[in-house]
């Protein structure tokens, strides 16, 4: 596929996922899209709260806005080790449950 740019013709790289219409200017951009969009791989781990991100720039923005820190280059490296991710993983609070039926007010008890 060829795309017309103002001064040149550029070869576009189509996504390899069946049915995905995305095209890219480089193979590396297509591979990154494929890993993130179709395999849901997120390799950038916040070592402060355990949240994971697909892109380095999003992790950097998260650290600056949420934690009010400038992350080091070491903190911005991709984390491909599942054990390391588990070490920093957030503990999600249990989902809120509805009150037991006997604790819910009935229509007769409700105030109008």
Gap between the Cα atoms of 43 and 77, Å rounded: 9
For 51-74, the pLDDT digits (tens) are 999 999 999 999 999 999 999 999
pTM: 0.61
Selection from 85, 84, 90, 58 nearest residue 71 by Cα: 58
Whether the Cβ atoms of residue 9 and residue 3 lie closer than 8 Å to each other: yes
Tell me the pLDDT of the chain (112 aa) as tens digits.
555 555 467 789 999 999 999 999 999 999 989 988 998 888 899 988 989 999 999 999 999 999 999 999 999 999 888 777 777 665 554 455 555 555 555 555 555 5
CA dihedral 53, 83, 39, 92 (to 10 degrees): -60
Selection from 69, 72, 67, 68 nearest residue 56 by Cα: 72
Q: What is the largest CA-CA distance in the chain?
A: 76
């Amino acid at each position: 596929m060829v795309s017309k740019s103002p001064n040149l013709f550029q070869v576009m790289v189509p996504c390899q996922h069946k049915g995905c219409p995305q095209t890219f200017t480089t193979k590396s951009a297509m591979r990154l899209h494929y890993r993130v969009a179709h395999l849901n791989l997120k390799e950038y781990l916040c070592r402060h709260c355990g949240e994971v991100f697909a892109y380095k720039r999003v992790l950097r923005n998260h650290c600056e806005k949420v934690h009010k820190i400038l992350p080091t280059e070491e903190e911005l490296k991709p984390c491909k080790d599942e054990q390391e991710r588990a070490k920093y993983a957030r503990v999600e609070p249990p989902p809120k449950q509805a009150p037991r039926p006997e604790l819910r007010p009935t229509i007769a008890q409700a105030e109008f």
